[in-house]
């Protein structure tokens, strides 16, 4: 009976996945992030059926996630439904499913969809673009108390935690507990930690300042911790020093060379000292999704697949890894795990497959064109590094704002974000100050 059921389900599944015609090649792309979408788009004129699979129904513009976490923007403003690709591109089908297995021998993947269960899907070409997830460096138990920032759900959890802490601080009679509620610890001083800390500073000093009679949110303590010896380690040292000074001006305490030993209900123990805090946020590290390991190829320490200069998996014809999930070297240096390389790698592989489908062969290996690296440090201040060019300050911040508006996935997102930013810039207010009902303050 159960075998029959399974068969029926698998038939249904084939019907759903089967916008595929057997005489055409099938390209399966796992992941609808920057890299996966770029690959799908680059295949728009290819004579192939493209199946784009993601466990979420939306693509997230991750560089602005910190603004959802700090109540400037709402989730819908930085995300777009992946399914709209089907409307724009005839040879693409979108499937909401989590890929749970890859079998290179039978050239199939296993994907589980809500309500349908697991099914096997065959491929001629496979593009893995599954990105990264937070890495607690062997201390996954920290995740319960220190959420990472990777999804819209994470950003809403963090926003609820921050706003909830002030509600509890305003009701408690216990001075020590009030101080704990008003202490925010961010672990990891890379771009995400720096951007989040600076935005949090503006939230407490400006937006929330006069919202409570019993407490003064501007007296909050914001601590940015890192085991390394400076903030923004991927930027030049001179920029890193400028950002440290800027953070100090915003009232953020930066503690470098300090390792976090414990995260629990009461706060953190770092460098041997306990810091009581009700809100600990994890911006420290990332590891690749488990999918690259399933390819049986070599991976680096973060679990990214080592690929050849054409982004192919060695000894697996027609299998590629792109974006954050791939470890790509160029001129002896790793290509950084940020949005531009992911887009460029996805586009490159899409074009390569399209050419192969026409019987051609791409001769030039992937080459990353560096458009620069940016980070924003609160209102009116950003840093930019591109080759020998290093700039910081208000003009750089304007460039940052312009580039980010233009890069958002849909026109309506661009218009809405622009409107929210203008409102927030001139009034100091933030429109998205909601604690989700599923979150009780303090949890």
Ligand X SMILES: Cc1cc2nc3c(=O)[nH]c(=O)nc-3n(C[C@H](O)[C@H](O)[C@H](O)COP(=O)(O)OP(=O)(O)OC[C@H]3O[C@@H](n4cnc5c(N)ncnc54)[C@H](O)[C@@H]3O)c2cc1C
Q: By the criterion CB under 6 A, which residues form the site for ligand X? A: 30-36, 53-56, 62-63, 65-66, 98-99, 129-131, 149-150, 191-192, 289, 291, 323-325, 337-340, 342
Going by the DSSP 8-state scheme, the letter that residue 148 receives in this structure is B
Strand order, beta sheet including 98-103: 98-103, 108-113, 117-122
- The closest of 175, 209, 187, 208 to 135, measured between CA atoms, is 187
Question: How far is the C-alpha of 421 from the C-alpha of 356, rounded, in Å?
Answer: 45
Q: Which is nearer to ligand X, 169 or 196 (CB)?
A: 196
The token pair that represents 199 in the structure block: 């935005």
- What's the closest the beta carbon of residue 89 comes to ligand X, in angstroms? 17
- What's the closest the beta carbon of residue 50 comes to ligand X, in angstroms? 15
Cβ burial 150-169 (10 Å sphere, 16+ → b, else e): bbbebbbbbbbbbbbbbebb
Q: Which is nearer to ligand X, 267 or 323 (CB)?
A: 323
Q: Which is nearer to ligand X, 53 or 417 (CB)?
A: 53
Q: Which is nearer to ligand X, 170 or 405 (CB)?
A: 405
User: Which residue number is nearest to ligand X in terms of Cβ?
Assistant: 33
Report whether 220 contacts 184 (CB < 8 A).
yes
Question: How far is the C-alpha of 350 from the C-alpha of 363, rounded, in Å?
Answer: 14
The token pair that represents 61 in the structure block: 């513009």
- What's the closest the beta carbon of residue 162 comes to ligand X, in angstroms? 15
User: Cβ neighbours of residue 299 under 8 Å, at least 6 residues apart?
Assistant: 288, 292, 293, 305, 306, 327
H-only helix segments in 358-410: 394-407
Helices 411-427, 394-407: crossing angle, 10 deg rounding:
150
Distances (CA, A) of 55 to 18, 52, 111, 239, 291: 18, 10, 9, 38, 13
Q: Which is nearer to ligand X, 55 or 180 (CB)?
A: 55
Q: Which is nearer to ligand X, 362 or 403 (CB)?
A: 403
- What's the closest the beta carbon of residue 161 comes to ligand X, in angstroms? 16
Report whether 30 contacts 323 (CB < 8 A).
no
Q: Is 261 a catalytic residue?
A: no
Question: How far is the C-alpha of 314 from the C-alpha of 101, rounded, in Å?
Answer: 19
- What's the closest the beta carbon of residue 54 comes to ligand X, in angstroms? 4
Going by the DSSP 8-state scheme, the letter that residue 233 receives in this structure is T
Q: Please pick, among 77, 156, 195, 345, the residue that the annotation labels catalytic.
A: 195
- What's the closest the beta carbon of residue 414 comes to ligand X, in angstroms? 17
- What's the closest the beta carbon of residue 247 comes to ligand X, in angstroms? 17
Q: Which is nearer to ligand X, 69 or 169 (CB)?
A: 69
Catalytic residue positions, numbered: 195
């Amino acid at each position: 009976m159960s075998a029959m059921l399974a068969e029926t389900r698998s038939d249904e599944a084939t019907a759903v996945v089967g916008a595929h015609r057997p005489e055409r090649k099938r390209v399966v792309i796992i992941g609808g992030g920057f890299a996966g979408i770029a690959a799908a788009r680059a295949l728009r004129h290819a004579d192939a059926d493209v199946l784009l699979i993601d466990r979420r129904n939306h693509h997230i513009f991750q560089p602005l996630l910190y603004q959802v976490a700090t109540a400037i923007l709402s989730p819908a403003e930085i995300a777009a439904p992946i399914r709209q690709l089907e409307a724009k591109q005839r040879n693409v089908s979108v499937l909401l499913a989590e890929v749970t297995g890859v079998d290179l021998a039978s050239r199939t993947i296993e994907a589980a969809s809500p309500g349908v269960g697991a099914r096997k899907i065959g491929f001629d070409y496979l593009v893995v673009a599954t990105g990264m997830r937070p890495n607690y460096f062997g201390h996954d138990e920290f995740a319960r108390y220190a959420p990472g920032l990777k999804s819209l759900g994470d950003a809403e959890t963090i926003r609820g935690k921050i706003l909830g802490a002030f509600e509890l601080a305003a009701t408690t009679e216990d001075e020590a507990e009030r101080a704990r509620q008003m202490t925010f610890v961010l672990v990891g001083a890379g771009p995400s930690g720096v951007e989040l800390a600076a935005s949090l500073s503006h939230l407490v000093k400006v937006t929330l300042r006069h919202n409570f009679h019993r407490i003064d949110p501007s007296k909050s303590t914001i601590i940015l911790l890192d085991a390394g010896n400076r903030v923004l380690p991927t930027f030049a040292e001179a920029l890193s020093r400028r950002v440290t000074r800027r953070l100090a001006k915003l009232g953020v305490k930066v503690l470098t060379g300090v390792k976090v030993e414990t995260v629990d209900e009461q706060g953190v123990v770092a460098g041997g000292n306990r810091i009581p805090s009700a809100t600990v946020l994890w911006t420290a590290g990332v590891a690749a999704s488990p999918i690259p390991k399933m390819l049986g190829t070599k991976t680096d320490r973060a679990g990214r697949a080592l690929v050849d200069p054409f982004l192919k998996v060695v000894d697996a014809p027609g299998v590629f890894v792109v974006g954050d999930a791939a470890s790509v070297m160029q001129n002896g240096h790793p290509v950084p795990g940020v949005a531009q390389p992911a887009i460029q790698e996805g586009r490159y592989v899409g074009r390569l497959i399209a050419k192969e489908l026409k019987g051609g062969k791409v001769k030039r290996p992937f080459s990353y064109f560096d458009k620069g690296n940016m980070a924003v440090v609160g209102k009116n201040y950003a840093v930019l590094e591109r080759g020998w060019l290093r700039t910081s300050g208000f003009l750089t911040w304007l460039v940052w704002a312009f580039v980010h508006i233009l890069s958002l996935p849909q026109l309506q997102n661009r218009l809405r974000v622009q409107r929210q930013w203008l409102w927030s810039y001139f009034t100091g207010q933030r429109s998205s100050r909601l604690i989700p009902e599923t979150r009780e303050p303090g949890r």
